[in-house]
Structure 1
């Protein structure tokens, strides 16, 4: 009987992450054309699959460096695409889209700097980062539900909660990775 790391299913989490990457263009196109209900369905699929790939990887020991990077890339592409297009269409506040994109830009530049200056990077999202991603997905789903006239309150406090989590998560990344860089640089 094959072990978990040799199971033919061990690449399933990576395939699910790649599916999320592949969904970004159709979701963006649907948003641009204001096809809210189909966009909602695909964002929901992407949101559920985000949790599913992580669960499968952890539960069955199918975690990999590639999987961690694919998961992060899929999240960032999807969220940036949705927030930028919805802000451009006037459906989410521009300041919120700027905070979401700014956080991801800081994280991406930090990861690139680490790779260039220190070496291999192994992504380890914090609980705060996972909460931030979840809150962004829930916010997008609420916005899309409201756009198809479901009685879902999308209020300013909800947007501010997303913003606060983005800022807190971004600061957490900067502090944690700066400490790691300092320890590596000082041989600690």
Structure 2
């Protein structure tokens, strides 16, 4: 009945007619036979049977093609969905401006560690100062054995490095608390050894050596005392000799700097005097000039010793905030210097 309902109107009206001339629309299955048959006269029963077969074949073809198209579409859709899932899995998630703010980070283990209490002591100025400390005993050895040329060379090296390390520390901001301690210590060690050996050789009078060495001994005792009282607890000998742990700062006074320069010039002159020829010494009256210079050094030595006693800014005990500030500044300077 459904096939009959889909027939054209003239064909449905053919029930009352005995014969009907009709034109059957060609289909892919019957196009060739119908093209040979042309116009034919079909009875109503034959037309109905032919139409039923044609429509059934056409419905089967349409159903199969629809199934094929549906299967192809489903396959394409599944492939597209799979590609979208893989792309969404590989694509990095960029935070959008409308996204919720990130959750606060939990404190890490490094944030719970205490602040640094040590500073970097392995700097170029400190290394140069340490070489001066090593050169001081060698100068004394050469003086005792009358090797004045070698002693004069090491003494000149110590004087040049004393000027260079200070310039480097100021130029690249490499000042450290350790440097303020070992720099004058190297100078005093060189002066102490040089003065003692020159007094033994008779190059300078003994009374001048006593004044110079007495002042240095008094300053050393004061430095030991201030280092101990300024050291944060626990006060142990290991922490006491750990110079990377700053606790106090020594600021030389102006007269002390002048006196140090005069003492170095005195020791250098006393070492170089035996190297010069006798004609030069007598022509320039260097022996008389040396005697007057010795009295000048004695006066400045006493003055510089008293300046440390009565000056309030000569020795400064550092607080915890100042120690952390110095260490942070040194760490920032070292990090900036390592960058290309």
Query: TM over 0.5, yes or no?
Result: yes
Aligned to 1:185: none
Pick the structure with greater CA Rg. 2
Deviation at 1:118, TM superposition (A): 4.6
Distance 2:312 2:223 in 1: 9
Q: CA deviation at 1:129?
A: 1.3
Deviation string, structure 1 residues 101-149 (Cα, Å, up to 9, x no partner): 1111111111122223354320211221111111111111111221112
The residue that corresponds to 1:163 in the other structure is 298
Change (3 A) 1:176 1:84: same
Per the normalisation by structure 1, the TM-score is 0.84
Is 1:89 matched up with 2:224? Answer: no
Q: CA deviation at 1:180?
A: 6.6
Which of 116, 127, 132 is the matching residue for 2:228? 116
1:54 pairs with 2:181: no
Is contact 2:251-2:314 (8 Å) kept? no
Please give the per-residue CA displacement for 1:83-103, whole angstroms capped at 9, x wherever unaligned.
001101111111111111111
Gaps of 5+ in 2: 1-121, 232-246, 317-340
> Which has more helix, going by share of residues?
1
1:149 to 2:267 alignment: no
Shift >4 Å, 4+ stretches = 177-181
Give matches, 1:102-141, under 5 Å: 102-119=214-231, 120-141=247-268
Counterpart of 2:155 in structure 1 is 43
Q: 1:179 to 1:129 in 2, by over 3 A?
A: closer
Asked if structure 1 preserves the Cα contact closer than 8 Å seen for 2:308 and 2:314, the reply is no
Q: Which runs of 5+ in 1 are unaligned?
A: 1-9, 182-188
Q: Which has the higher contact order (CA 8 A, sep 6+)?
A: 1
**TM-score, normalisation: structure 2:** 0.48
User: Is 1:174 equivalent to 2:287 in the alignment?
Assistant: no
**Separation (CA, whole Å) in 1 of partners of 2:227 and 2:265:** 32
